[in-house]
């Protein structure tokens, strides 16, 4: 599925936090890799410095990829994974997307910064934000603030969190999950399928199951009991759904378990991921919610803001009827 990977760099140590991920992916999945530095037009006089920087980093990644391939005993000995550095000039997001489109890139990987402001949150700079919004291919975002001790290549146990909402759009991530889980081969990998049963909003009408009559003929409703019953039903349906997806993945050789929570989806996903740090959260940028497709996109944005784990975003194709 992946043949060419684009890694964005801006000359900072933060952007180089992507390197542990790049070397593992390129080495284990035989992905040709391009490191891209986008300079400003007014920086043309220091272009030689930028070229030296990007070529130096490409050399480092190339050596690391060879070490990974040797350690993992993966890939064909006759095949060489290409690693090169490229320069571009212009607005970074536009140049990243242009380069990806013109060079048949399959995956973009980039690091972004996070700060503490009362609660943890990601600083989604305009470059990363635009790449996420307009990229036609998957984007892997790495929290540059994570400590090195939990780096992608140093975890003793690999875990992948996969939020699903029951839609085919959300399930578009599953082929990617299989590839990532299988890249480690004999090393333990656990895939956690995650679902959220959203509380039912207050209703103006309650069906017979939510009403009761009195001897005087008055009709009352039990909104609290009814809502709780509906949430329980949703949880059961969600468990059954995730169980079916889990069986499919287990048949493909993956180690899978599922978790179901109740509440607001973005909060539940982020809280669970932060309480149980994952190597990766794999999720779609589109799906359905109780409100609309647009609301699901808001869920994705909130997860990016709140979760500390790296996030792999897939933008699935969507029927025209669903885009309205």
pLDDT for the residue numbered 103: 97
pLDDT at residue 74 tops 90: no
Averaged pLDDT, 60-87: 83
pLDDT at residue 213 tops 70: no
More confident residue, 160 or 305: 160
Q: What is the DSSP-derived secondary structure letter of residue 201?
A: P
Averaged pLDDT, 266-286: 89
User: If you search the block for the tokens 């017979």, which residue do you land on?
Assistant: 208
Using pLDDT thresholds of 50, 70 and 90, give the confidence band for residue 120: very low
Decide: 184 and 28 in contact? Cβ < 8 Å.
Answer: yes
Fold of 155-324: Rossmann fold (3.40.50)
Q: Nearest CA to 197 among 160, 162, 243, 166? A: 166
CATH of the domain spanning 1-153 = 3.40.50.620
Q: How far apart are CA 146 and CA 21, in angstroms?
A: 13
pLDDT at residue 172 tops 80: yes
pTM: 0.81
Q: Nearest CA to 273 among 142, 145, 123, 163? A: 163
Q: How far apart are CA 161 and CA 232, in angstroms?
A: 23
Q: How far apart are CA 93 and CA 117, in angstroms?
A: 26
DSSP string, 57-125: HHHHHHHHHHHHHHHHT-S-TT----EEEEEEES-HHHHHHHHHHHTT--EEEEEE-EEEESEEEE---
Using pLDDT thresholds of 50, 70 and 90, give the confidence band for residue 303: confident
Integer CA distances (angstroms), 91 to 38, 42, 97, 135, 182, in order: 7, 12, 10, 15, 37
pLDDT at residue 116 tops 50: no
pLDDT at residue 180 tops 80: yes
Decide: 290 and 196 in contact? Cβ < 8 Å.
Answer: no
Averaged pLDDT, 56-71: 93
Q: How far apart are CA 134 and CA 123, in angstroms?
A: 18
Q: How far apart are CA 293 and CA 178, in angstroms?
A: 25
Average pLDDT of the chain, as a whole number:
80
Using pLDDT thresholds of 50, 70 and 90, give the confidence band for residue 79: confident
Decide: 81 and 65 in contact? Cβ < 8 Å.
Answer: yes
Decide: 150 and 277 in contact? Cβ < 8 Å.
Answer: yes
Q: Nearest CA to 34 among 99, 71, 83? A: 83
pLDDT at residue 108 tops 90: yes
- Domain boundary assignment for the chain: 1-153, 155-324
Using pLDDT thresholds of 50, 70 and 90, give the confidence band for residue 9: very high
Q: How far apart are CA 273 and CA 161, in angstroms?
A: 8
Percent share of the chain, pLDDT over 90: 42
Averaged pLDDT, 8-24: 90
β-bridge mates for residue 38, sequence order:
88
Helices within the chain (DSSP H only): 19-29, 47-72, 92-102, 126-134, 168-171, 174-182, 223-251, 265-275, 293-306, 320-323
């Amino acid at each position: 599925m992946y043949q060419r990977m684009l890694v964005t760099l801006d000359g900072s140590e933060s952007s180089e936090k992507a390197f542990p991920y790049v070397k593992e992916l390129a080495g284990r999945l035989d992905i040709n890799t391009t490191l891209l530095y986008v300079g400003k037009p007014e920086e043309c006089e220091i272009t030689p410095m930028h070229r030296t920087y990007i070529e130096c980093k490409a050399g480092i990644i190339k050596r690391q990829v060879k070490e990974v391939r040797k350690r993992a005993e993966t890939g064909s000995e006759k095949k060489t994974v290409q690693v090169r550095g490229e320069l571009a000039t212009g607005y970074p997001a536009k140049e990243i997307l242009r380069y990806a489109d013109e060079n048949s890139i399959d995956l973009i990987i980039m690091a972004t910064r996070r700060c503490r402001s009362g609660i943890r949150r990601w600083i989604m700079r305009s470059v990363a934000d635009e790449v996420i919004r307009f990229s036609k291919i998957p984007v892997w975002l790495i929290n540059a603030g994570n400590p090195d001790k939990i780096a992608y290549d140093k975890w003793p146990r690999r875990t992948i969190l996969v939020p699903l909402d029951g839609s085919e759009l959300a399930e578009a991530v599953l082929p990617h999950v299989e590839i990532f889980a299988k890249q480690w081969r004999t090393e333990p990998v656990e895939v956690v399928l995650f679902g959220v049963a959203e509380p039912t909003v207050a209703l103006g009408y309650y069906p017979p199951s939510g009403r009761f009559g009195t001897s005087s003929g008055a009709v009352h409703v039990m909104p609290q009991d009814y809502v709780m019953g509906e949430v329980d039903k949703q949880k059961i349906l969600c468990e059954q759904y995730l169980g079916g997806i889990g069986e499919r993945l287990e048949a493909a050789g993956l180690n899978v378990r599922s978790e179901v929570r109740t509440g607001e989806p973005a909060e539940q996903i982020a809280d669970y991921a932060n309480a149980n740090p994952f190597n990766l959260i794999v999720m779609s940028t589109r799906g359905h919610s109780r409100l609309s497709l647009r609301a699901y996109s808001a869920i994705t944005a909130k997860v990016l803001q709140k979760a500390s784990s790296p996030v792999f975003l897939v933008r699935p194709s969507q029927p025209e009827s669903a885009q309205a």
